[in-house]
Amino acid sequence: MALVHTVKTGETLPQIARDYRTSLSSIIAANPGINPYALYIGQQIIIPGIPSANTIPYKIEISTDNRWLRLYKNDVLQKQYPIAVGRMLHVTPVGNFIIINKAPNPGGPFGTMWMSLSKDHYGIHGTNDPSSIGHAVSHGCIRMHNQDVEELASIIPIGTSVFIHP
């Protein structure tokens, strides 16, 4: 079963395609009869290639104020990790997102693992500066210790839901 995205205020189909790192043509093909120029709030759009979060036992909850990431399996807390979050002018976005891909060894400040969120340019990643964990220092991403993000990435599948709140 594929992921279903619910259109929110101000969203366009090209932006939704970028957020899920999929082509506009594949979204149009998966949604027969869709008018890509006339979306409406609440419209349900199938995102091909990403499983429905309802089929995945894992979910992630992130508190930007408390600087933690919690992993749940079947609604039971499995583990809590310390994180770094976005600094002023580069705040971490709040809301519901999905893990849409994983990239080991992205290099530079992203540490040893990158997991993209369903919001263009945002993700959960490692770091080349472990002393930054626990602080508001990133450009909006969720930063973790390398061993923590590697462990998390080894557990959760693509399609895992991520809820970010203050």
Contact status, residue 161 vs residue 59, Cβ threshold 8 Å: yes
Q: What are phi and psi of 115, to 5 degrees?
A: -125, 115
Q: What residues are paired with 86 via a beta bridge?
A: 138
Q: Which DSSP helix (H) or strand (E) runs through 24?
A: helix 24-30
Q: What are phi and psi of 114, to 5 degrees?
A: -130, 130
Q: What is the structure's pLDDT at 158?
A: 95
Q: What is the structure's pLDDT at 129?
A: 94
In the chain, which segments carry CATH 3.10.350.10?
A: 2-50
pLDDT in tens, 45-82: 999 999 988 899 999 999 999 999 999 999 999 999 99
Q: What are phi and psi of 8, to 5 degrees?
A: -110, 165
Contact status, residue 145 vs residue 127, Cβ threshold 8 Å: yes
68-73/85-86 β-pairing: unpaired
Q: What is the structure's pLDDT at 102?
A: 96
**pLDDT grade for 88, boundaries at 50, 70 and 90:** confident
In CATH, the architecture of 2-50 is: Roll (3.10)
Q: What is the structure's pLDDT at 136?
A: 94
pLDDT in tens, 98-110: 999 999 999 888 9
Q: Return the beta strands (E) in the chain as ranges.
A: 2-6, 44-51, 58-63, 68-73, 76-82, 85-86, 95-104, 113-117, 123-125, 136-138, 142-143, 161-165
On the CB side of 137, CA atoms within 13 Å amount to 14
The single-letter code of the amino acid at 111 is G
Q: Is the pLDDT of residue 1 over 80?
A: no
In the chain, which segments carry CATH 2.40.440.10?
A: 55-165
Q: The tokens of 111 are what? A: 């540490």
How far is 89 from 39, CA to CA, in rounded Å? 30
Question: Which CATH entry fits the domain spanning 55-165: 3.40.50.300, 2.40.440.10, 3.40.50.1820, 3.90.1150.10?
Answer: 2.40.440.10
The average pLDDT across 11-17 equals 95
**Active-site residues: which are they?**
125, 141
pLDDT in tens, 116-160: 999 999 999 999 999 999 999 999 999 999 999 999 999 999 999
Contact status, residue 82 vs residue 130, Cβ threshold 8 Å: no
Q: What is the structure's pLDDT at 2?
A: 87
The single-letter code of the amino acid at 57 is P
